């Protein structure tokens, strides 16, 4: 809804209430602009027309008639549905797609039967047989990422392309060594060795190991004497992917 503020009110995108004048206090009352009358009439006319009535200046009950008709239509189940454009993707809380939607499972479908969807997405997700069918996207088991579209965060990406998982190096401004005996960081001043690690660009990181993991140490710092600290820590076991906590839902696409 559009807010129509008084002409003598401060400029604001929020609603500014009207006020009465107060002559003893020297306060001028709110000055209404023409839109304060025109805009409500326009909104009322939209309701009347939507209800299928012809606006009649002599009939003062048309707004009430229109509201009754629209409410009755909702109760009977005949209210107009919200228009969703073909190609819209949504998450669905059931294992099957509802009417008017398809599962995003990579299936090839008819270019004729689903002409509106084909016009919307074309062969961005697969050309099917390149003659009579095309593919819907396959989002099974995938997390979706916003297309970079020139922003420069996820550079070099083609729309609709697949990207495998990756694990970035941890952000750590303080280069530490790892004591091979304990697997814990060693301060740079310990054991009379004030120098930093020899290859800080590949210094590993330490965490409390998960059950079944072991740490393999390598690339001992040369010149360490009796204190050969480790520059790299390789965790050789772990999970198959990096992921947040999640719940499985069904991705569907509007036809």
3-28: pLDDT as tens digits: 888 888 888 888 888 889 988 888 89
pLDDT value for 8: 86
User: In whole angstroms, what is the distance from residue 145 CA to residue 48 CA?
Assistant: 43
pLDDT value for 229: 47
In 3-state terms, what secondary structure has residue 34?
coil
pLDDT value for 187: 53
User: In whole angstroms, what is the distance from residue 104 CA to residue 168 CA?
Assistant: 29
pLDDT value for 94: 94
Nearest to 206 by CA among 242, 230, 240, 239: 230
pLDDT value for 182: 60
pLDDT value for 74: 79
User: In whole angstroms, what is the distance from residue 171 CA to residue 43 CA?
Assistant: 55
Instruction: Tell the residue number behind the tokens 């916003």, with chain if given.
Output: 146
Strands 215-220 and 185-186, sheet pairing: unpaired
- Lookup: tokens for 76: 């009977």
Nearest to 1 by CA among 33, 32, 44: 44
pLDDT value for 203: 43
Among left, alpha and beta (phi > 0; psi -120 to 50; other), residue 175 is beta
- Lookup: tokens for 144: 């979706």
Which pLDDT tens digit goes with each residue over 29-42?
889 899 988 888 88
Give just the sign of the alpha carbon dihedral 17, 20, 26, 32: positive
Positions in the chain whose pLDDT score sits under 50: 188-225, 228-233, 235
Instruction: Tell the residue number behind the tokens 């020139």, with chain if given.
Output: 150
Cα–Cα distances (Å) from 44 to 5, 33, 59, 84, in that order, read 19, 18, 13, 26
pLDDT value for 7: 87
Nearest to 144 by CA among 131, 169, 166, 161: 161
Instruction: Tell the residue number behind the tokens 């960081």, with chain if given.
Output: 185
């Amino acid at each position: 809804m559009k807010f129509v503020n008084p002409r003598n009110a401060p400029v604001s995108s929020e609603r500014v209430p009207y006020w009465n004048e107060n002559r003893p206090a020297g306060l001028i009352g709110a000055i209404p602009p023409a839109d304060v009358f025109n805009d409500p009439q326009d909104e009322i006319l939209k309701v009347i027309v939507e209800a299928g009535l012809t606006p009649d200046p002599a009939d003062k009950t048309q707004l009430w008639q229109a509201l009754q008709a629209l409410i009755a239509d909702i109760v009977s189940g005949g209210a107009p549905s919200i228009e969703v454009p073909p190609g819209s993707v949504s998450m669905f809380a059931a294992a099957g797609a509802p009417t008017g939607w398809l599962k995003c499972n990579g299936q090839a479908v008819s270019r004729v039967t689903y002409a509106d969807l084909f016009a919307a997405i074309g062969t961005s997700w697969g050309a099917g047989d390149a003659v009579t069918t095309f593919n819907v996207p396959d989002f099974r088991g995938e997390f979706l990422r916003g297309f970079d579209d020139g922003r420069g965060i996820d550079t070099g990406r083609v729309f609709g392309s697949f990207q495998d998982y990756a694990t970035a190096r941890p952000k750590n401004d303080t280069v530490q060594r790892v004591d091979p005996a304990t697997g814990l960081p060693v301060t740079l001043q310990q054991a009379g060795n004030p120098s930093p690690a020899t290859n800080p660009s590949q210094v590993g990181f330490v965490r409390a190991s998960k059950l079944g993991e072991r740490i393999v140490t390598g690339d001992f710092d040369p010149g360490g004497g009796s204190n050969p600290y480790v520059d790299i820590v390789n965790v050789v076991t772990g999970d198959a992917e990096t992921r947040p906590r999640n719940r499985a839902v069904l991705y569907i696409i509007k036809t």
